[in-house]
Structure 1
Amino acid sequence: MEVMRHTSTFLRPPTPAADGPSLAYALVVLNQRLPRFAPVLWNHAKLRIFADGGANRVYDGMPKFFPEQDPSEIRRRYKPDIIRGDMDSIRPEVQEFYCNLGVKIEDVSYDQDTTDLHKCIAFICDSTPELDKSKLCILVAGALGGRFDHEAGNINVLYKFSGTRIILLSDDCLIQLLPRTHSHEIHIQSSVQGPHCGLIPIGAPSASTTTTGLQWDLTDTGMSFGGLISTSNIVREERITVNSDSDLLWTISIKKDI
């Protein structure tokens, strides 16, 4: 089975060849509080999209990371490539500000069957030929916290676009899908993440999951809701391996001091 390798070097400032074979990062900002490492995510991204009210979050929140600088200058510096969504949350003055900067604003409220995140991921996958999709990794800021139905919708997007690397981020943790079609090798960035982690069989039960590198490794272990799930596990090695007959969610804590 082909091995899929994962690393979270996007949590650290960009350095030459930091990701080995370079990944093409895209950033989607949702309508939740910006994580404290938002400027670092921005600097990694080749494409930046605000999902509707995510524009408010950047407009209000990004200047707070640079209190010694002119807020207007910060807002002009951190402008997106596009704002996309139902457009029912972005404030009028924020929309006007970005319009005046020439930012494309795309109202897709005619589609009420998908979330704003889904609309943004679909745009990245279908309308950005300049990005190498084989190396694409989509970082989603503000994906966790707030209403649970929004969180569930964001997790559903991981399954909807299971062939695309998508990482949901908050101040506290990240979540990504480990598709059953691959073996997985996770390289831990111990300076910025861990030690707490988990493997969650949300899509379907797992009859057999095997791991290495964890405090409580799994060996051909079955997992399901109503049964065992691997929560509050701890990374013990810099390299974690996961093999499962089911899609799993991988989550790991993000350290407070980054």
Structure 2
Amino acid sequence: MAEKLLMTHCSSFLLPPPFTNGKNSSSPTTYALIILNQHLPRFSPLLWDHGNLYSAAKIRLCADGGANRLFDNMPELFPLEDNASLIRERYKPDVIKGDMDSIRPDVLSFYKDLGTEIVNNSDDQDTTDLHKCITYVRDFVSDEDKPNVSRIHFATSNPISKEGYIGFVCLVELLHFANLNTCVFFSGLQLCILVAGALGGRFDHEMGNVNTLCHFSTTRIILLSDDCLIQLLPSSQRHEIHIQSSVEGPHCGLIPIGAPSGSSTTTGLQWDLDDTEMRFGGLVSTSNIVNGEIVTVRSDSDLLWTISLKKQP
């Protein structure tokens, strides 16, 4: 059986520039930011501005009522600035997209006057606003990258053996850790979508957001709140998670999603899994603790990885 390709993960988007880890500064990641209709995380300005020096967010969207949260909460994150309008202008979304049943008229008018694109999908009631925004981002980034496709391609004589390689990877780290001379590196696979305000509030909304991770399993999507992050670890890869201990941990969890796990193995946790079965109604690895700088995960089922985020003084 062919060895699964390595997928590396790092929450460096939570670190203020300049990065302390030089490898991150050359990351080819394309970030996009989506804001949902929950309280804006305290680190939202960092997510918004983080790319100015290194990996700029190509696009920033509000999902319908997420525009209300941006309008109301962003000025609160700058208590030393007394001009809320200037803050709102500085943090103007590129797009507001959704069925437009939650956004306030004054907020819609404010951002429209600033030039924000308004995309009304009220005719589509079969998908969530987050689903609509992710589809928009994927199409947008794909269109942006089309001129460069010829330069980003399979650099291997056997591309079929590499299929299934998805999500965010740092190319330099992949080559180093997997000891490969060539790798799969399509431009679309560099995309990382950060979703702020994805957790909290109604449980059915939270589960809808988790379901969106599974629906778009070939795109790296990270759900964020003030308290934690959640992302999907596809079973088609083995995973190496680089812990940013200054901003995340130590509490973490691995939860099977979509199907029970017949075999999951980890290193780097206080209670490691060793060819362990996990399922709802049985064992699920919650309230675990990271033990070091790197956690490795291998499973025969897709898993949700969650880790706590530290409250900064």
TM-score, scaled to structure 2: 0.80
| Equivalent pair of 2:64/2:129 in contact (CA under 8 Å) | yes
**Structure 1 residue 253 and structure 2 residue 308: aligned?**
yes
Q: Give the structure 2 partner of residue 130 of structure 1.
A: 144
Residue from 43, 62, 65 that aligns with 1:53: 65
Alignment of 1:36-115 (within 5 A): 36-44=42-50, 45-69=57-81, 70-115=83-128
CA offsets, 1:59-98, max 9 Å, x none? 0111111123210000000001100001000000000001
| CA distance in 2 between partners of 1:8 and 1:249 (Å) | 15
| Equivalent pair of 1:216/1:234 in contact (CA under 8 Å) | yes
**Structure 1 residue 156 and structure 2 residue 211: aligned?**
yes
Q: Give the structure 2 partner of residue 21 of structure 1.
A: 27
Q: Give the structure 1 partner of residue 260 of structure 2.
A: 205
| CA distance in 2 between partners of 1:159 and 1:80 (Å) | 26
Q: Give the structure 1 partner of residue 131 of structure 2.
A: 118
| CA distance in 2 between partners of 1:251 and 1:220 (Å) | 20
| Equivalent pair of 1:76/1:101 in contact (CA under 8 Å) | yes
CA offsets, 1:22-56, max 9 Å, x none? 31110000000000101001113221000000001
Residue from 5, 14, 18 that aligns with 2:8: 5
- Opposite residue 139 of structure 1, the aligned amino acid is L
| CA distance in 2 between partners of 1:257 and 1:15 (Å) | 18
- Opposite residue 34 of structure 2, the aligned amino acid is V
Tell me by how many angstroms 1:19 deviates.
4.9
| Equivalent pair of 1:13/1:43 in contact (CA under 8 Å) | no
Q: Residue 70 of structure 2: SS of its match in structure 1?
A: helix
Larger Rg: 2
| CA distance in 2 between partners of 1:73 and 1:2 (Å) | 46
| CA distance in 2 between partners of 1:178 and 1:24 (Å) | 19
| CA distance in 2 between partners of 1:96 and 1:14 (Å) | 34
* Structure with the largest fraction of strand: 1
| CA distance in 2 between partners of 1:220 and 1:121 (Å) | 34
Taking only the aligned residue pairs, the percentage that are identical comes to 66
| CA distance in 2 between partners of 1:12 and 1:86 (Å) | 34
Q: Give the structure 2 partner of residue 228 of structure 1.
A: 283
Q: Residue 144 of structure 2: SS of its match in structure 1?
A: coil
**Structure 1 residue 139 and structure 2 residue 153: aligned?**
no
The farther-off stretch of 61-70 and 178-187 is: 61-70
In the alignment, structure 1 segments of 5+ residues that lack a partner are: none
| Equivalent pair of 2:35/2:197 in contact (CA under 8 Å) | yes
Tell me by how many angstroms 1:20 deviates.
4.2
RMSD: 1.2
| CA distance in 1 between partners of 2:312 and 2:189 (Å) | 32
| CA distance in 2 between partners of 1:233 and 1:173 (Å) | 14
TM-score, scaled to structure 1: 0.97
- Opposite residue 14 of structure 1, the aligned amino acid is P
| Equivalent pair of 2:34/2:193 in contact (CA under 8 Å) | yes
Residue from 31, 34, 44 that aligns with 2:37: 31
- Opposite residue 269 of structure 2, the aligned amino acid is L
Q: Residue 58 of structure 2: SS of its match in structure 1?
A: strand
